[in-house]
Amino acid sequence: MQTKYIFITGGVVSGLGKGIAGASIGALLESRGLTVSLMKLDPYINVDAGTMNPFQHGEVFVTEDGAETDLDLGHYERYTNAVLTRKHNFTTGQIYDSVIRKERAGKYLGRTIQVVPHIIDEIKDKITESSQNVDVSIVEIGGTVGDIESLPFMEAIRQFRHDCGRENGIFIHLTLIVYFENGEMKTKPTQHSVGKLREIGIQPDILICRTKYQMPQKIKNKISLFTNVEEDAVINGMDVASVYEVPLMFNEEGLDEKIVEYLHMWTGRPKLQPWADTVDCFKNPVGEVTIAFVGKYVEHRDSYESLNEALAHGGIANRVRVNLRYINSEELGGTHGLDLLQGVHGILVAPGFGERGTDGKIEAVQYARVQKIPFLGICLGLQMAVIEFARNVAKIPNAGSGEFTPNNKDNVIDLMPEQAGQEGTGGSMRLGGYPAVLKKGTLIASVYDSEKIVERHRHRYEVMNDFVPRLEKAGLIISGRHPNRDLVETIELAPEEHPWFIACQYHPELKSKPLKPHPLFASFITAAYQYRGSEKEAEESL
C-alpha cells in the first residue's frame, strides 16, 4: 500500500490553528473511508513537553503508550479514530539526541555528522516510521515559516516529497489574511509567507487562509496569481463558533475534494452527518449549566485544553450548554473565597502539580461534599478529595500528601515504596494507559456500564492503602483499583450521602471525543443539569 502524505506548515504568525486544521483534514478523509495517521514535528529543543511550563506550552497530552506530547496530538485523537503513540511527536531535542546516540555507538562509521544529511535523514526516517499501514499520513510542522529552528524540518519535508513523488505528497500552508475595520483585506503577509516557503524549495499546493470574514473571489484570484496556487485551492479558513464546525466548513470549501484530486485517490463521498449533528447539539442546546472549574493554570486556556473539550463533549451528549466559571484555586479559602462557588451546578477540581493552590482545591471539595453539589475530581483532584475526607470525616486532622509534607506520618497520599529513590522528573511517574477494575454496583461502574476499563495516567503519588480501612469505615467508597498493584483508581460517596461525587486518579479527558463523549463527563453534566432542575424546583416551591 502506497501511503500518501500531507505536510502542513504555517506562516505570518503562530497560533493560527494548524493542529485544528490537520485534525479536521483527518476527520474529512476518514469520513471518506480512508485510514489516517497524524504527526507533529516540534522545532523546540526540549526532549518532550513533560517538563514545560503549562503557561508557555499549554497542556501535556499523554498517549496510550505513555509519551508526554504536544497538545495538538489531543486535537488529532479527538477528531479522528487514530490512536497515536510516541512515534507521532518528535522534537528537535529528540532528533539530535537520537543522532548523537547513534554517533556514540559508532553507527555512522566515523563520518562527520552534519545537519545535511544526518539530521534530515533522521527526520525523514521518523516520518516513515509513524506512517505505517495507513492511507494518508498528515504531518504538521510546528512554528512559523522563517523560524531558524524549523529549517531542518522544512528541508526534510521538501526532500521527502521529492523522494515519494508529487502524486504521493502535497504541501498545505496555513496563513493569515489581515482584516481592517474598514472592510479591507490585505494579502501581502500571505504573499510574503509563501515567498519564504518558496525560497527554501517548497511550493504550497493548497492555501488555507485564516480570515474573519469570507474572502471575495477577487481576493482569492489575487492570492492565486502571486503564489502560484490554483484559485480553487485557496481555501477560506474563517472563524467559527465551535472548532467542531471546521471539518464542515472545509468540506463546503471543497478542501477534501482538492486533496484527493491532488493525491490521485479514489474515495467514497464524505459521510459528515455525525459532525453536523454534533454541531447542531452544540449550537442549539435545550438548557445550560454552570460548572466551577477549579485549577491553578486557569488564566491560560490551553493549559487544560483536553479538559475544556471533554466538558463541552459532556454538554453535547446532553444537548446542554456548559458554561465554565474558571476559578484560580489560590483565590479560594475562607468565607469570602467560597463566594466564587455560589450558584454553580457542578464543581470540577482539575489536575496539577505542586503545592500552590492545593488548600483552595481542598476547600472546593469540602464545599461540593457538604452542599451536595455534583463533583468530579481528576488526578490531583482525587488526591485533594481523599485529604479533605480524611481530615473532615475520617478525623485524621493532619492528613496530607508526601508531595508537600514529606515527613508527615499521616500522609494519606504518598510515593509507593518501590518509587522511593527514583530520580528524574518522569522516572517515578505512572504514564499512559493502565487498567482498572470497578466495584460492582458502584456509581462509576454504572457510568461506564463496565467493570473493566483502561485509562491514561500522568502522576507520581498514590493513595496509601494503610489508610484505606479508616477511610472506608468513615464512608468513602474505593470504587476502582488497579488489578495487579492494588492501587486506588477511583473513589465516590454513597448515593444516600451525595447525589454524584466521583474522583479518579487517571485523566479521562484524554479519551473524550465530540462524536463519542467520555461517559464520565456525560454523566457529570447530566448530574449538574439535574441538580439545577432540583434547585429551580426548590426555589419555585418557596
User: Hey, do 4-277 and 285-414+429-538 end up sharing a CATH topology, with the first three levels equal?
Assistant: yes
Can you tell me whether residue 171 is helix, strand or coil? strand
Angle between helices 519-541 and 305-318 (to 10 degrees): 60
**What stretch of H or E contains 209?**
strand 206-211
> DSSP assignment of 238-251, as one string?
E--SSGGGHHHHHH
pTM of the model: 0.93
Residues 6 or more apart in contact with residue 505 via CB below 8 angstroms: 379, 382, 383, 457, 459, 462, 463, 487, 488, 489, 490
Residue 293, phi then psi, degrees to nearest 5 = -105, 100
Can you tell me whether residue 208 is helix, strand or coil? strand
Q: Cell 480553487 appears where?
A: 232
- According to DSSP, the residues that pair with 505 across neighbouring strands are none
Each domain of the chain, given as residue ranges in start order, spans 4-277, 285-414+429-538
Can you tell me whether residue 186 is helix, strand or coil? strand
The pLDDT score that the predictor gives to residue 201 is: 96
Find the mean pLDDT for residues 292-312: 90
Find the mean pLDDT for residues 86-106: 95
Find the mean pLDDT for residues 174-179: 93
Output DSSP code: residue 513: B
Is pLDDT of 425 > 60? no
Confirm if 536 and 345 have CB atoms less than 8 A apart: no
Is pLDDT of 108 > 70? yes
d(C-alpha 25, C-alpha 29), whole Å: 6
- Per-residue model confidence as pLDDT tens digits over 383-403: 999 999 999 999 999 999 999
The pLDDT score that the predictor gives to residue 183 is: 76
The pLDDT score that the predictor gives to residue 418 is: 66
Is pLDDT of 285 > 70? yes
For the chain, the average pLDDT equals 93
Angle at 465 between CA 464 and CA 470, to 5 degrees: 100
Find the mean pLDDT for residues 335-351: 90
The pLDDT score that the predictor gives to residue 426 is: 45
Percent of the chain past pLDDT 90, that is, above it, reads 84
Q: Cell 482569492 appears where?
A: 220
Find the mean pLDDT for residues 311-338: 90
- Per-residue model confidence as pLDDT tens digits over 427-461: 568 999 999 999 999 999 999 999 999 999 999 99
Lowest pLDDT segment from 14-18, 152-156, 157-161, 397-401: 14-18
The pLDDT score that the predictor gives to residue 299 is: 78
Supply the CATH classification number for the domain 285-414+429-538.
3.40.50.880
Nearest to 337 by CA among 363, 369, 304: 363
At 56, the pLDDT band (50, 70, 90 cuts) reads: low
Overall CATH class of domain 4-277: alpha beta
Q: Catalytic residues, which ones?
A: 379, 507, 509
Nearest to 175 by CA among 135, 144, 129: 144
